[in-house]
Amino acid sequence: MVTRKILVNKMLGYLNHRIDLPELIDWAEQAMMNADFEEPYFDDIRDIVAKIGLANVKAFGLTWQDCEDFLQRLGYRARIEVVELA
């Protein structure tokens, strides 16, 4: 089952460069095949996972704004932290 927390953690993994876009897309495609999403966020999770799964299509892509919007739909707010390289 894909829960809101699992989806947020996958997105954070991508935004923090722990996973790359192809890996995120592959996960989303697999999640869509299983089609088991947490209630009461079923519609939001399904829509977001479907959009991530299409991110490898040039016409769709995946922008920072998309990720920020997705997180907001799931009840989170994105925050950027900039740190100096040592």
Task: Give tens-digit pLDDT for 54-83.
Answer: 998 877 889 999 999 999 999 999 998 888
pTM score, two decimals?
A: 0.90
Q: What is the mean pLDDT of residues 39-45?
A: 96
Q: What is residue 57's predicted lDDT score, i.e. its pLDDT? A: 86
Instruction: Compute how many other C-beta atoms are within 10 angstroms of the C-beta atom of residue 17.
Output: 7
**List of E strands, 14-65:** none
User: What percentage of residues in the chain have a pLDDT greater than 70?
Assistant: 100
Q: What is residue 60's predicted lDDT score, i.e. its pLDDT? A: 84
Q: What is residue 58's predicted lDDT score, i.e. its pLDDT? A: 76
